[in-house]
Amino acid sequence: MGQSISVFGLGYVGSVSATCLASKGNRVLGVDVNAAKVHAMDSGQSPIVEAGLGEILAQANKACHLHATTSATAAVHQTDISFICVGTPSLRNGKLDLSGVERVCQDIGEALRTKNTFHSVVLRSTVLPGTTDNVVLPVLERASGKKAGSDFAICYNPEFLREGTAMKDFFHPPFTVLGARDISQLEPLRKLYAFANAKVFETSVTTAEMVKYVCNAFHAVKVGFANEVGVLAKQLGVDTEEVTKIFTSDTSLNISPAYLSPGFAFGGSCLPKDLRALVHCAKQNDLRVPLLESILPSNTEHIERVVENILRIGRRKVGVLGLSFKAGTDDLRESPIIGLVRDLWQDGVDVLVHDPDVQPDAMLGSNREYLERQLPQIHQILRPHIAEVLHACHVVVVSQKRPEFTAALQTLNGRATVLDLVRLNEDPASLGVSKYRGMSW
């Protein structure tokens, strides 16, 4: 037995959602302020051009599972769930225009005022984190005179379909993301999406809102990246397709979660050097590659952000655990931690450093020269024992994941603030460190 649903906004998202949900046996009522779109859907025609939509829409309409109206009141009164799929376009300055969302919430809220049964309002439009709680909720409560949570539910359910393949994307989504303040109120949505053979994430409203933006930003970065390396390869006479085929076949480091955990800046002897070489090569070939060019400045910005965070804590004795760019190596070339220590030092901060892999007296050749050139004070500030650093400092910055660092921090007993740059533990609360701050979490 299907559910009774109204879908506000019969554009690309709304028309597809309404039709697909109706085709799964739900009773769906489409709502739009545009009478022509309403008339089209109500007479079995698609309001938009989308491959495969017209046929399924016509069938659902013929089976009396799909109708449309311009009346928000009728739609709210006749259904149990209202999806909001109105547009959220950009204003001239890039800010999101929420006037459509506010208007539809006003309409739904006014209709809720005269409805006696429980109703769920589900926002599908793409909105920035906080919008559901700070815009949708107050408008609905004010217009309805009712309380969100007890008199009606508010959920956020982002849409991931792509125009042109929207039907396939709806029936086979990459995942389903359901956000609510109280996840028990997600039950009707769980049932609704039971057809999809996809992982369901039940999470907070703000997480669900943010996931949508992170996905779209990442897709845009992927396209920009592919195009920049593609034109560069072509310019160099390299087979772009072959490069892409080999590059994407690595599902361990390339097409994978690797390198996608928020943490500290990258460094080491390869990434900065190779990026610089690639950007230089593009310039020599008269190619502008703004995305590739922006990566090193973005990395530097992140180091500066960490320095600002440390200075904001306001204590002048800072311990840094880890000097090389990652645990298990004494290669210090382009370690971002060296830049961090130098910046702190220049700002008058008293810094001590501990790294089990870095012993300048035992280092040979260019690595030692590099260290002494970059950090001439290294012999004064390096401590062989972690305990010395922990005892002397008010702030401890952790830049490498090492079990011995975690164990030592657990003995601090609140004596120092820990700034974790690498997320030592999936669940930082279980670290047992009382004054703990994460860099990007």
Contact residues for ligand NAD (CB under 6 A)?
A: 8-14, 31-34, 37, 85-88, 100, 103-104, 107, 125-126, 159, 161-163
State the nearest-atom distance from the C-beta of 51 to ligand NAD, in Å. Answer: 13
State the nearest-atom distance from the C-beta of 386 to ligand NAD, in Å. Answer: 49
Name the residue with the smallest CB distance to ligand NAD.
11
State the nearest-atom distance from the C-beta of 136 to ligand NAD, in Å. Answer: 13
List phi, psi (to 5°) of 319. Answer: -100, 140
Of the residues 85, 105, 215, 270, only one is catalytic, namely 270
Write the CA distances from 71 to 14, 56, 94, 104, 234, integer angstroms. Answer: 16, 24, 32, 11, 56
State the nearest-atom distance from the C-beta of 92 to ligand NAD, in Å. Answer: 17
State the nearest-atom distance from the C-beta of 222 to ligand NAD, in Å. Answer: 17
Respond yes or no: is residue 393 known to be catalytic. no
| 76/344 with CB nearer ligand NAD | 76
| 34/45 with CB nearer ligand NAD | 34
| 87/268 with CB nearer ligand NAD | 87
State the nearest-atom distance from the C-beta of 158 to ligand NAD, in Å. Answer: 7
| 12/370 with CB nearer ligand NAD | 12
| 107/330 with CB nearer ligand NAD | 107
Question: SS3 string of the chain?
Answer: CCCEEEEECCCHHHHHHHHHHHHCCCEEEEECCCHHHHHHHHCCCCCCCCCCHHHHHHHHHHCCCEEEECCHHHHHHHCCEEEECCCCCECCCCCECCHHHHHHHHHHHHHHHCCCCCEEEEECCCCCCCHHHHHHHHHHHHHHCCCECCCEEEEECCCCCCCCCHHHHHHCCCCEEEEECCHHHHHHHHHHCCCCCCCEEEECHHHHHHHHHHHHHHHHHHHHHHHHHHHHHHHCCCCHHHHHHHHHHCCCCCCCCCCCCCCCCCCCCCHHHHHHHHHHHHHHCCCCCHHHHHHHHHHHHHHHHHHHHHHHHCCCEEEEECCCCCCCCCCCCCCHHHHHHHHHHHCCCEEEEECCCCCHHHCCHHHHHHHHHHCCCHHHHECCCHHHHHHHCCEEEECCCCHHHHHHHCCCCCCCEEEECCCCCCCHHHHCCCCEEECCC
The Cα angle at residue 401 between residues 422 and 207, in degrees rounded to 5: 35
Count CB neighbours of 114 within 10 A. Answer: 10
List phi, psi (to 5°) of 158. Answer: -65, 155
State the nearest-atom distance from the C-beta of 200 to ligand NAD, in Å. Answer: 18
For the chain, give the number of residues. Answer: 441
| 54/87 with CB nearer ligand NAD | 87
| 8/266 with CB nearer ligand NAD | 8
| 97/250 with CB nearer ligand NAD | 97
State the nearest-atom distance from the C-beta of 60 to ligand NAD, in Å. Answer: 18
Please, are residues 208 and 160 in contact by the beta-carbon 8 Å criterion?
A: no
| 100/188 with CB nearer ligand NAD | 100
d(CA 212, CA 247): 26
List phi, psi (to 5°) of 323. Answer: -115, -35
Task: Give the catalytic positions in this structure.
Answer: 270
